Amino acid sequence: MKSADCIVKNCSQLLTCEGRIPKRKEALQEVGLLEKGCIASFKGRIVFVGDEKRFKEEVHLEENSIQIDGTGLVGLPGFVDSHTHLPFAGTREEEFVLRLKGYSYQQLAEKGLGIQTTVKSTRQASQKELLSLCLSRLDRMLLLGTTTVEAKSGYGLNLNDEIKQLETLQEANRFHPVDIVPTFMGAHEIPEEYKARKSDYIELLIQTILPEVKEKKLAEFFDVFCEEGIFSIEETRKLVRAAKEAGLKIKIHADEFSPLGGAQLAAEEKASSADHLINITEEGIKKLSNSQTAATLLPAVSFFLMHEKKAPARKLIEEGAIVALATDFNPGSSMTESMLFVLQLAVFTLKMSIEEAINAATANSSYALARHEDVGSLEVGKKMDLVLWDVPNYPTLVYHLGINPIKHVLKNGKLVVRDGKIL
Ligand code: NIG
Ligand code: FE
């Protein structure tokens, strides 16, 4: 007989999001709904999902186990936020106010605002300051139901400050219950001091910073901003190939403002994901949909930048793309830690169904991080990362706006949020 040391019973609805990951097309509708669901784990891993009667027959509950009554609560896998720029210092509300007066994000970037502003403040911050900023943001994420988060460097743009950002993430991962998946994104911008000699910066990235990141084992992924005026398709390909050589998995900021063809490149280079895709072309949609590369949509960015144009979520789903959702949390184009808000935007602005959005924020985003063996659905063998929401049914998560109905969060089978408070 199996043992359990943690049990949650009587959830009014338990959404397991089980099934083959990645999910495409109709499979995105399947959320694995269990009424009166019971779920149990042992040493952090799920050992049982089903009804209570069968639990009693099949599983022995150890003394002093964690026991949670899920009556009136809806259980979901913890959100996997697969795209954030977490370790930054300084905020950009002044730039935001200028945007409200009519300046575009790109006009401001040309004036030296935008990413460069955050590069300055992040370079100035000590590792201790950065860590404390990261920890409070991770707390907010946890309180909004995120249990795994990807986090990128990319506001250092030199050896010391990129390493500082990545080491901060390593430390935060040790201290905080949320799992952090680190990404090296030195190719986020061309730093001011290299503006006139971009190819030298690319060489610095490839010859100096990347080997150090590899040597110190500071990142699992490599990401690059493939965009007009930033890194071209050819430059992106060069960077991506060097990162693959260094053993990193690939993500690409693709087709965000201009249809350069980053989506096609991501598919060709077998990237884990192509992210943004607001300006993806027809060809890009076809290529990405027929690949193993996830299409990560970030609807908070179109919302935050007040752009009419949105990523073509319906078209991507119809063509069979692996659609995932993430916040893109950063101070310039998406100042939100909330995956719940992203879920709501996906439904209201991208016309995704509630079920598609839930799968995209859990199962498929775990795939975009190559963590789908561990998280993203509630299945035997996976981590007990469970969020209990105080809503009468799961559609209410999207229907009732502007509140945070979190009740409890279990991370690795441990209670880390109780009654909406971090323990
Ligand atoms: O994903 N697109 C590039 N990078 C970020 C924005 C970063 C910033 O504005 O600080 C993004 O949107
Ligand atoms: Fe981003």
Report whether residue 262 contacts ligand 1, using a CB cutoff of 6 Å. Answer: no
**Rounded distance between C-alpha atoms, residue 22 and residue 325, angstroms:** 13
Report whether residue 332 contacts ligand 1, using a CB cutoff of 6 Å. Answer: yes
**Rounded distance between C-alpha atoms, residue 411 and residue 178, angstroms:** 8
Q: Does domain 2-77+377-422 have CATH number 2.30.40.10?
A: yes
Establish whether the linkage from the previous residue to 395 is cis, with ω within 30° of 0. no
- State the distance from the centre of ligand 2 to the C-alpha of 330, rounded, in angstroms: 7
Going by DSSP bridges, is the β-strand pair 2-15/33-42 parallel, antiparallel, or unpaired?
antiparallel
Q: Quick one: which of 148, 179, 65, 144 has its CA closest to 389? A: 144
**Under DSSP, is residue 286 helix (H, G, I), strand (E, B) or coil?**
helix
**Rounded distance between C-alpha atoms, residue 384 and residue 377, angstroms:** 9
pLDDT for the residue numbered 184: 99
Beta strands in 16-112 (DSSP E): 33-42, 45-50, 59-69, 74-77, 79-81
Q: Quick one: which of 416, 306, 325, 415 has its CA closest to 376? A: 325
Residue of the nearest CA to atom 8 in ligand 1? 332
Please state whether the predicted TM-score (pTM) of the whole model is above 0.85.
yes
Q: Find the DSSP H helices in 125-232.
A: 127-143, 159-175, 198-203, 210-215
Cα separations in angstroms, 30 against 25, 74, 153, 275: 10, 16, 35, 24
Place of tokens 């498929």: 364
Task: Judge contact between 413 and 175, C-beta under 8 A.
Answer: no
pLDDT for the residue numbered 106: 82
Residue of the nearest CA to atom 1 in ligand 1? 328
pLDDT for the residue numbered 186: 98
**Rounded distance between C-alpha atoms, residue 272 and residue 367, angstroms:** 8
**Rounded distance between C-alpha atoms, residue 395 and residue 408, angstroms:** 18
- State the distance from the centre of ligand 1 to the C-alpha of 330, rounded, in angstroms: 7
Write down the domain spans for the chain: 2-77+377-422, 79-368
**Rounded distance between C-alpha atoms, residue 423 and residue 411, angstroms:** 12
Matching CATH number, 79-368, of 2.60.40.420, 3.40.50.720, 1.10.3720.10, 3.20.20.140: 3.20.20.140
**Rounded distance between C-alpha atoms, residue 170 and residue 77, angstroms:** 24
Task: Judge contact between 250 and 271, C-beta under 8 A.
Answer: yes
Task: Judge contact between 242 and 204, C-beta under 8 A.
Answer: no
pLDDT tens-place values along the chain, 423 residues long: 899 999 999 999 999 999 999 999 999 999 999 999 999 999 999 999 999 999 999 999 999 999 999 999 999 999 999 999 999 999 999 999 999 999 988 888 888 889 999 999 999 999 999 999 999 999 999 999 999 999 999 999 999 999 999 999 999 999 999 999 999 999 999 999 999 999 999 999 999 999 999 999 999 999 999 999 999 999 999 999 999 999 999 999 999 999 999 999 999 999 999 999 999 999 999 999 999 999 999 999 999 999 999 999 999 999 999 999 999 999 999 999 999 999 999 999 999 999 999 999 999 999 999 999 999 999 999 999 999 999 999 999 999 999 999 999 999 999 999 999 999
- State the distance from the centre of ligand 2 to the C-alpha of 211, rounded, in angstroms: 23
Q: Residue 414, Cβ neighbours under 10 Å: how many?
A: 15
pLDDT for the residue numbered 111: 83
Place of tokens 């009166």: 36
* Residue 118 alpha carbon, nearest atom of ligand 1: 10
Residue ranges with CB less than 5 Å from ion ligand 2: 328
**Rounded distance between C-alpha atoms, residue 26 and residue 357, angstroms:** 13
**Rounded distance between C-alpha atoms, residue 375 and residue 385, angstroms:** 7
User: Cα 158–161–167 angle (5° rounding)?
Assistant: 130
- State the distance from the centre of ligand 2 to the C-alpha of 29, rounded, in angstroms: 27
**Rounded distance between C-alpha atoms, residue 73 and residue 38, angstroms:** 12
281-296: b (≥16 Cβ within 10 Å) or e: eeebbbbbbebebbbb
Q: Which two tokens stand for residue 64?
A: 């002093």
Q: Quick one: which of 361, 328, 332 has its CA closest to 120? A: 332
Task: Judge contact between 243 and 250, C-beta under 8 A.
Answer: yes
Q: Residue 366, Cβ neighbours under 10 Å: how many?
A: 30
Q: Do domains 2-77+377-422 and 79-368 have the same CATH topology?
A: no
- State the distance from the centre of ligand 2 to the C-alpha of 358, rounded, in angstroms: 21
Length of the chain in terms of residues written? 423
What's the gap between Cα 277 and its chain centre?
15
